[in-house]
Structure 1
Amino acid sequence: MAAHHHHHEPQGAELSTAARATLEKSGEQWTTMRAQIFETLAGFDKPASAYDIAEAVSKAAGRRVAANSVYRILDLFVGANLARRVESSNAYIANAHPDCLHDCIFLVCDSCGQTTHIDNDRITSGVRSAAEAAGFSPVRPVIEVRGKCADCD
């Protein structure tokens, strides 16, 4: 297994197309609301909460969208690998490569909130191995490193 994953990072319409294909491959429908929520999430430059997304979609659609509806769709997106949840922030980011399954490492800046997603299969497989050695069956390791980004350091 390679130490680092390297991906083409689709953006905009290309990312939405990749997300739609991945969701439909899992047997789910790409509805108008799901598309709006994904595109809104992908448009944030930092992790966004369900409330942030609901507010932005509500403004764009000209009607109120409930945060509960957004949470349900975000849960679906996480399960389908379209989004990742930044646990410590209770916020979400769009997965820039939804067709690739791997564990993620988040670098979270305590000053500005910027969150960088990196892949390092060597580290994440080591976490999985350590969990298994302790008699634990890991389902979704979440690794977050808190600190300061280069812009805030």
Structure 2
Amino acid sequence: MAHAHHHHEPQGDDLTASARGALEKSGEQWTQMRASVFEALAGFDKPASAYDIADAVSKREGRRVAANSVYRILDLFVGANLARRVESANAYVANAHPDCLHDCIFLVCDSCGQIVHIDDDALTGGVRNAAKKAGFAPERPVIEVRGKCAKCEDSAQAG
């Protein structure tokens, strides 16, 4: 049986404040550049690449921001649980609940690119246990399920 887990999903300024608090709690500073990268990431409605984020920050600030700088910040964000990396897309999403640690299960729509993040501690715990039984020390399990979201599936069936 799946572990029921409900989150308040902060958005906008509340999400940024939550991210800032989590980053500072981890001992890191919330710099203007980090704030700009997080706000750009949170502004996308689909997973964003470092290049997408660098372009958005560059446009907003009126100066070129290198993707390498964005990658370093995104790595920091992933480590601090402010962002999640969608491995198969080499893209990132803002974590709406950075104070809560769960292994990721992403549902990836191959038609529209939308991604839904779900928590199922029983499933991810089973993956961790299977890895341990195989003599592997799991650090960050990420499960991705590719297919079609309900909206795209309904459109395909209607057409």
TM-score, L = length of structure 1:
0.98
Aligned length: 153
For residue 5 of structure 1, report the CA deviation from its aligned partner: 1.9
Query: Could you tell me which residue of structure 2 aligns to residue 17 of structure 1?
Result: 17
C-alpha offsets along residues 20-40 of structure 1, whole Å, 9 cap, x if unaligned?
Answer: 000000000000000010011
Segments of 4+ moved more than 3 angstroms:
none
For residue 2 of structure 1, report the CA deviation from its aligned partner: 6.2
In the alignment, the residues of structure 1 paired with residue 122 and residue 110 of structure 2 have an alpha-carbon distance, to the nearest angstrom, of: 26
C-alpha offsets along residues 36-92 of structure 1, whole Å, 9 cap, x if unaligned?
Answer: 100110010000000000001000000000000000000000000000000000000
For residue 102 of structure 1, report the CA deviation from its aligned partner: 1.1
- Show the 5 A alignment for 1:101-140: 101-140=101-140
- Show the 5 A alignment for 1:4-153: 4-153=4-153
In the alignment, is the contact (CA less than 8 A) between 2:2 and 2:123 conserved in 1? no
- The structure whose Rg is larger is 2
What RMSD in Å do the two structures reach over aligned CA positions?
1.0
In the alignment, is the contact (CA less than 8 A) between 1:4 and 1:122 conserved in 2? no
C-alpha offsets along residues 87-124 of structure 1, whole Å, 9 cap, x if unaligned?
Answer: 00000000000011110100000011000000000100
TM-score, L = length of structure 2:
0.94
In the alignment, the residues of structure 2 paired with residue 19 and residue 46 of structure 1 have an alpha-carbon distance, to the nearest angstrom, of: 19
- Which consecutive residues of structure 1, in runs of 5 or more, have no partner in the other structure? none
- Which consecutive residues of structure 2, in runs of 5 or more, have no partner in the other structure? 154-159
In the alignment, is the contact (CA less than 8 A) between 2:38 and 2:94 conserved in 1? yes
